[in-house]
Amino acid sequence: MIQTKKVTTLAALVLISALTSVSSALAAEVSIEVNLPVSEGSMNYRPYVAVWVEDAQDQTVKTIAVWRKEADWLKDMRRWWRKAGRYDQGELDSVTGATRRPGKHEVKWDATNQQGEAVPAGQYTLNIEASREHGSRSWVRQTITLGKGEGNQVYTTKAAEELGSMTIKVSH
């Protein structure tokens, strides 16, 4: 009985996702290679980092990753905190992780919103913000296009104080 119910739910889910994909026709994947530079000096703490997506109107679509320790300093990822973090829509539980070492760390976005639904084709902005105790705050953004006949895209961002040059790949 339980088994049947599960199957029904699954079938419904497949149907819904099929419908959604018809309307948006989006099967895109975005990969962001977050680059944390080696910091000099004796007080080289690891940065707090947030990676999130905004739409063409600068509205938050989804938080992809948050690397942090104490909640007290989440606000130092200033834009992310103002636009997404403080309205906590569950992202803190689902995407949060420990702070990372210097180096390159790949993060992926499956072109879905915070609720897990596929986003419509259009322009989006990838945002990467890093804030380091006894260091600086850097915010880097890159506009990408999903669907709309655009093919695969590769972008390279300019290096900032707390974020090295990063490669962003869009594959359809």
82/108 with CB nearer another protein: 82
Task: Indicate which single residue of 78, 100, 169, 172 sits in contact with another protein (rule: CB under 8 A).
Answer: 78
Interaction residues for another protein, span 4-23 (CB under 8 A): none
Q: Provide, rounded to whole angstroms, the least separation between the CB of residue 72 and another protein.
A: 5
**Interatomic CA distance for residues 21 and 125, integer angstroms:** 21
Backbone angles phi, psi at 5, to 5 degrees: -60, -45
For the bound state, the minimum distance from the C-beta of residue 29 to another protein, rounded and expressed in Å, comes to 28
Taking the alpha carbons at both ends of the chain, their separation in whole angstroms is 40
The binder of another protein chosen from 7, 10, 43, 71 (CB under 8 A): 71
Any idea what the Cα angle at residue 65 is, between residues 61 and 70, rounded to 5°? 120
Q: Which stretch binds another protein (CB under 8 A): 13-21, 84-92, 119-127, 152-160?
A: 84-92
Sheet strands (E) in 27-121: 29-36, 48-55, 60-67, 96-97, 103-109
CB 140 within 8 A of CB 160: yes
Return the structure tokens found at 13.
């889910």
* Residues 101, 89: Cα–Cα separation, whole Å: 27
Q: Which is nearer to another protein, 88 or 161 (CB)?
A: 88
Closest distance of CB 86 from another protein, Å: 5
Residues numbered 113 to 132 that lie near another protein (CB under 8 A) are none
Phi-psi region of 111 (alpha: psi -120 to 50; beta: other; left: phi over 0): left
CB of 125: closest distance to another protein in angstroms? 13
Q: Does 86 bind another protein (CB under 8 A)?
A: yes
Shortest Å, Cβ 36 to another protein: 20
Nearer to another protein, 84 or 166 (CB): 84
Pairwise CA distance, residues 80 & 49, whole Å: 10
Q: Give the footprint of another protein on this chain (CB under 8 A).
A: 71-75, 78-79, 81-82, 85-88, 137, 139
